[in-house]
Structure 1
Amino acid sequence: MTATTPDDPKTLVSTDWLAAHLKDPDLRIFDATWYLPDAGRDAENEYAAQHIPGARFFDIDDISDGRSELPHMAPPVEKFMSRMRAMGVGDGHQVVVYDGLGLFSAARVWWLFRLMGQKNIAVLDGGLPKWLAEGRPVTSDAPTIRDRHMTVKFEGHRVRDVTDVARAAKLGDHSIIDARAPARFRGEAPEPRPGMRSGHIPNAKNVFYKTLLNANGTMKPATALRTVFQDAGVDLQKPAITTCGSGVTAAVLALALERIGKTDHSLYDGSWSEWGMYADLPIATGA
């Protein structure tokens, strides 16, 4: 496995890179800010007040599978295609996605695009906070949008359901990596969603997503990322399944794995919102 370059339009790009390409005709930008329900912040209102010029707002909760009772599950292909067309994003475009926390929910949209077979998408390293700290331009103006066609090729190997994960936990043939905070992983802190049991999937390893980031919200270099995974006891020789509370920060792990050149990873979309809800599924506590 080899590390990717620092600016990689298929994984992660810097604010310098985005500033240099901001007026490229085939660039499309998404503000994919999403906050936990108890954060007391409104992502769409914040987008309306200020966003990177040209950015569209990507509503993770809306562009999801409305048939599922679980939060923001991956949408059907047809829904994804129609929403992207309406937002003017299609074949031949380079997409850059960011969020208002630095590097949090943007990775979820990166993973979703990859699930839909789209390769030319990158997360903005450090997100909107870094962009603002550097005095770069923002606007409240809505972008001009023209319909564009997108060809989607669903890559089912990038997502796992509860049956897949239960099998992997029992057989030990995958590295299951949980992005939640250590206290939640150990079962010492309550879950933010009502009705959830506390603990983690048996045989999972805990890599809190924030340990993959620098203090300014940017992602650590590839060598440091690899060390974080290894120090947490993750066997990088096995295929990986990432998980978290509801499939958002699990995508930060997926992005980090991609940055170190590990491509055999998938995401448990239901994550603890599903696993923690069913009493017949086993849980573990402690480290």
Structure 2
Amino acid sequence: MTQLSLIDPSALSQASAGIALDLRSPDSYWQGHLPNARQVDAALFALPKTDAASVQQYEARLRWLFSTLGLNADAPVLVYGENFDGSVARAAWALAFAGVKRVSVLAGPLAQADGVPLSREAPVFAAQPFALSAQRALLATADDIAATLGNAGTRIVDAREADDYRGTKAATKAGTNAGTNAGTKPGAGHIPGALHWDNRQELNAAGTLDTPDALAERFGALGLAKHEPIVVYCGGGPRASRTWLALQRAGYTRASVYQSSWGEWGARADLPVETSAN
């Protein structure tokens, strides 16, 4: 099981050295990055569909990517971006899914990491085989969810905006990056039985995840129990990934992410949709 940790930018100088993945733009990366950081396009962590072939291709992509980046599943990896957003969380989820044992997330902008020397040099590293060990319990597929509908033993959490959840969004939106609602259609609604979670509730005033106790209290108020399996989805994966991190922080260790989220579910005519305004 992956050991996940959040690092405040003010404490980055005391963090253990290791490989870092920089999800910022190439321009930002070359203006100054952590000395051992590899620049990575956050879009590589997206999973648009969850049929068996797509999941296999996703695993192959992660194996190729992490091999190319010189990662080792036993060595610690730090992920950071422009801010502590869903793209950073999705990369952390992908590392855990691939079997990386120790994953840290910078819970804020790199610019706030005072006293940390930055480099404009290209890091020197060699590609090496990455032994991917897919943690399939962390990934929920459309078929997995369809099979559990009506089963009180699995809770489904919708981390999109309330208008998306209710199906009252006025205009179609598309995209899979953080801040968009991939695949949303007017009046679409949500997966039947899903609970709505305003994912702003997982953040404190500083814009990072709140304390474990505060998060546990809010998830408990939503009706979630730590012993039951939980599936989180959003528009295209990023926001659900951050909510997954929040659940992990609060002690909900049986949570998984439906990475394809509404981008896949809403596009499939064979999957049911609920439009109640609860």
TM normalised by structure 2 equals: 0.83
Per-residue CA deviations over 1:143-166 (Å, capped at 9, x if unaligned) read: 222223432211111111111112
Query: 19, 37, 41: which one pairs with 1:28?
Result: 19
C-alpha distance 75-64 of structure 1, shift in aligned 2 (>3 A): farther
Aligned residues of 1:177 and 1:204 also touching (Cα < 8 A): yes
Distance in 1 between residues matched to 2:260 and 2:212, nearest whole Å: 28
Find the counterpart in structure 2 of residue 18 from structure 1.
12
Aligned partner of residue 146 in structure 1, secondary structure: coil
Aligned residues of 1:110 and 1:123 also touching (Cα < 8 A): yes
C-alpha distance 68-255 of structure 1, shift in aligned 2 (>3 A): closer
Aligned residues of 2:75 and 2:102 also touching (Cα < 8 A): yes
Indicate the percent of aligned positions where both proteins have the same amino acid: 28
Per-residue CA deviations over 1:3-25 (Å, capped at 9, x if unaligned) read: xxxxx962322224431236x3x
Aligned residues of 2:75 and 2:100 also touching (Cα < 8 A): no
Q: Which amino acid aligns with 2:12?
A: L
Aligned residues of 2:183 and 2:235 also touching (Cα < 8 A): no
Aligned partner of residue 11 in structure 1, secondary structure: strand
C-alpha distance 230-87 of structure 1, shift in aligned 2 (>3 A): same
Query: 141, 157, 164: which one pairs with 1:184?
Result: 164
Unaligned runs of 5+ in 2: 175-181
1:160 matched to 2:151: no
Unaligned runs of 5+ in 1: 1-7, 34-42
Query: 44, 47, 70: which one pairs with 1:62?
Result: 44
Aligned residues of 1:73 and 1:269 also touching (Cα < 8 A): no
Distance in 1 between residues matched to 2:168 and 2:26, nearest whole Å: 33
C-alpha distance 209-149 of structure 1, shift in aligned 2 (>3 A): same
1:66-105 to 2 correspondence within 5 Å? 76-105=58-87
Aligned residues of 1:102 and 1:129 also touching (Cα < 8 A): no
Find the counterpart in structure 2 of residue 124 from structure 1.
106
Per-residue CA deviations over 1:57-92 (Å, capped at 9, x if unaligned) read: 2223235569989xx978533332222122122243
Find the counterpart in structure 2 of residue 5 from structure 1.
none
Per-residue CA deviations over 1:98-121 (Å, capped at 9, x if unaligned) read: 121223211111111111111211
C-alpha distance 53-188 of structure 1, shift in aligned 2 (>3 A): farther
Question: RMSD over aligned Cα, in angstroms?
Answer: 2.8
C-alpha distance 172-66 of structure 1, shift in aligned 2 (>3 A): closer
Distance in 2 between residues matched to 1:266 and 1:48, nearest whole Å: 35
Per-residue CA deviations over 1:215-272 (Å, capped at 9, x if unaligned) read: 3221100011112212333344421001111111111111111112221111112100
1:163-174 to 2 correspondence within 5 Å? 163-174=143-154
Query: 170, 181, 184: which one pairs with 1:196?
Result: 184
Q: Which amino acid aligns with 1:172?
A: A
1:131-142 to 2 correspondence within 5 Å? 131=113, 134=114, 136-142=116-122
Alpha-carbon deviation of 1:136? Answer: 4.3
Find the counterpart in structure 2 of residue 224 from structure 1.
214
